[in-house]
Structures are given as C-alpha cells and as structure tokens.
Amino acid sequence: MSEQTAGHPGAQRKLAVRESSGHADAPAAIEARDFNFYYGDFRALEHISMVAPRHQITALIGPSGAGKSTLLRAMNRMHDETPGTSSEGDLLLDGEDINGIEDLIVLRKRVGMIFQRPNPFPMSIFENVAYGLRLKSQSANKGVIADQVEQALRGAAIWDEVKDKLQQSGLALSGGQQQRLCIARAIAVEPEVLLMDEPCAALDPIATLKIEELMAELEERYTIVIVTHNLQQAGRVADQTVFLSMNPETRAGFVVEAGPTQQIFTNPKDDRTLAYISGRFG
Ligand SMILES: Nc1ncnc2c1ncn2[C@@H]1O[C@H](COP(=O)(O)OP(=O)(O)O)[C@@H](O)[C@H]1O
Ligand SMILES: [Mg+2]
C-alpha cells in the first residue's frame, strides 16, 4: 500500500484521535534545531526543527521519501555506519549534542531502536534480553540478570507468553511476539528514548493492537518517537505529531507542521497538512 492511500478520503472523519496525555511544553528529550542531513551531496533533510517531549509519544508522519527514517536514524546515529553522510545544525538528547557523544555504545543504551522487521538474535528468548544486560554490567550475577530479564519481559507485555519457554529460540516466536521481545531487549538497559520505525508494518491487526497498548504503558517510563505511515495509528498513539513533506524541487524533507496530535489531525494550520490528513495529498 502506498503511503498516500493511508489517508483515503474520509479518513479524517473516521480517525480516532487520542487526547494528549502530556504537554507540548514538557522538557525535550530529543530536539532538532535547524538540522540538515546529507547522503553525499544529496540533502535529505532541510532545516528540521522539532521536539520530542519527555515521556510522550511523538509520531513522524508524511509521504514516502520525506525523510522520516533518516531523521529517526540520526537520533541514535545509525548513519555513522553509512559512508558519505553528514549533517549540520543541532540534534540534541536532553540538550546534549548527539553527534558529540563519544561512545556510541553509551548513546545506543540511552536511545534504543525498534525496526520494521522484528530482529531477534538467533539465540534463546532469555539470552536475547540478557545479552544487553551483560554488556551493561559485567559484574551482575546470575540471579540479578534473571530478575532483570523477567522485568524487561514483563515490561514488554510478553512475560506470560514466554515464561515457560525462556530457553527456546526467539526466532520461533510469532512476528508480534518477536517485536515485543525486541522491545524487551531494548528496555532491559533502561534507555531514555525508544525509536520505532514502522514497528507494526509487518504485523497483523491483533499484534499491532498489542504493540499500541504496550506503547501507552511504556510512555510512563520512556520517551517514544515512532515513524508510521498509518495515520490511524498516529492518531491512536501519539501525543505529538510532526508532519514531514518533501520539497518538490530539491526532494529534501522538511517539517510542514508539528504540534499536539489532536490539533494536527483536527485543526491543522497548514493547508498541506490538511490535504495529507484528509487524503488529498498528491
Ligand atoms: N542510504 C541512502 N543513501 C542515499 N539516499 C538515501 C539513503 N537512504 C535514504 N535515502 C534517500 O533519502 C530520502 C529520505 O528517505 P527516508 O528517510 O527513507 O524517507 P521515509 O522514511 O520518509 O520514507 C529519500 O529520497 C531516499 O531516497
Ligand atoms: Mg522510512
């Protein structure tokens, strides 16, 4: 399905938009200020300014190619492994320059990532979660690790489904369970921010609903930034929404409008947002 068709005519009427549980002026966990990003000579993001407030869910929406994944991936420096990438401007984690953080492992512990395709390690359910914990504190004893694994699996709402088969392969789980296992693995090291790039794109509606319910619980302890091309999903889960679009001349992604989800979906200030939300985009 193309991203444009996600907002078919009438979508606006049918959208269930949540009341934001947080305030737009809560302190920023992640903030971009006039941030530009380049793949070689190609500017993929231009003059991005946005805020992901602490302990809220912020959705990045917009058409395919608008740079949603590029922006999300910059937030934990996934691009470091891609030759030729560069950036200008500020991208901040709790006010600290993300690109200035020396130890990437430390950054990735503070800012975890969940991908579109669940990617459990080819090891047991237990080891999938224990792996990161052992990296974090090599001195922790077995009992402590086991407790923390249980806490993470409970936190990811999958404990009851796996508690009797912790030694089985994580790859033997269903797609939705694998995704919750990946969330357990991510939260085990107690990050501040969880980045999710279309985390439900490969899941069926019931598994998707479970992830959405889980996100609402996780929000109490973590800041979440989610890329979704599913407008209904953004309306259901996000406190804040950032609408990105593409400059038709340069193909660079830019922020058209950002604000509380309720306002973006029901009372957008920019005609281009209204057009996208009501399915008239493109
Ligand atoms: N590794 C890459 N090298 C060069 N260009 C890229 C790379 N990844 C993405 N792009 C380009 O950057 C732009 C934004 O892509 P992306 O962030 O994936 O958009 P979205 O997630 O909104 O669909 C697109 O024009 C895409 O072709
Ligand atoms: Mg993407």
Phi-psi region of 162 (alpha: psi -120 to 50; beta: other; left: phi over 0): alpha
Tell me whether strands 28-39 and 85-93 are parallel, antiparallel or unpaired. Answer: antiparallel
Give the alpha-carbon dihedral of 201, 203, 204, 206, to 10 degrees: -110
pLDDT tens per residue, range 57-110: 999 999 999 999 999 999 999 999 999 999 999 999 999 999 999 999 999 999
What angle separates helix 175-188 from helix 205-218, to the nearest 10 degrees? Answer: 20
CA dist 257 and 252 (Å) reads: 15
Tell me which amino acid residue 194 is: L
Q: Round the average pLDDT of the chain to a whole number and report it.
A: 91
What is the structure's pLDDT at 257?
98
CA dist 235 and 54 (Å) reads: 19
CA dist 213 and 192 (Å) reads: 19
CA dist 280 and 282 (Å) reads: 6
Tokens 């910059």 locate to 74
pLDDT tens per residue, range 209-219: 999 999 999 99
CA dist 132 and 111 (Å) reads: 13
Q: How far is the CA of 165 from the centre of ligand 2 (A)?
A: 34
Residue 6 has pLDDT above 60, yes or no: no
- In the predicted model, what is the mean pLDDT of residues 38-54? 98
Q: Does domain 4-277 bear CATH number 3.40.120.10?
A: no
CA dist 214 and 218 (Å) reads: 6
Model's pTM, two decimal places? 0.92
Tokens encoding 92: 């901040």
Long-range contacts of 141-147 (CB under 8 A, 24+ apart): none
> Do 255 and 48 touch, CB atoms closer than 8 A?
yes
Q: For a ligand 1 pocket test, name from 39, 196, 245 the mutation site with the most ligand atoms within 8 angstroms of its C-beta.
A: 39
Q: How far is the CA of 39 from the centre of ligand 1 (A)?
A: 8
Confidence of residue 25 (pLDDT cuts 50, 70, 90): confident
pLDDT tens per residue, range 149-170: 999 999 999 999 999 999 999 9
Nearest bound ligand to CA 245?
A: 1
Q: How far is the CA of 248 from the centre of ligand 1 (A)?
A: 15
CA dist 130 and 279 (Å) reads: 44
Confidence of residue 9 (pLDDT cuts 50, 70, 90): very low
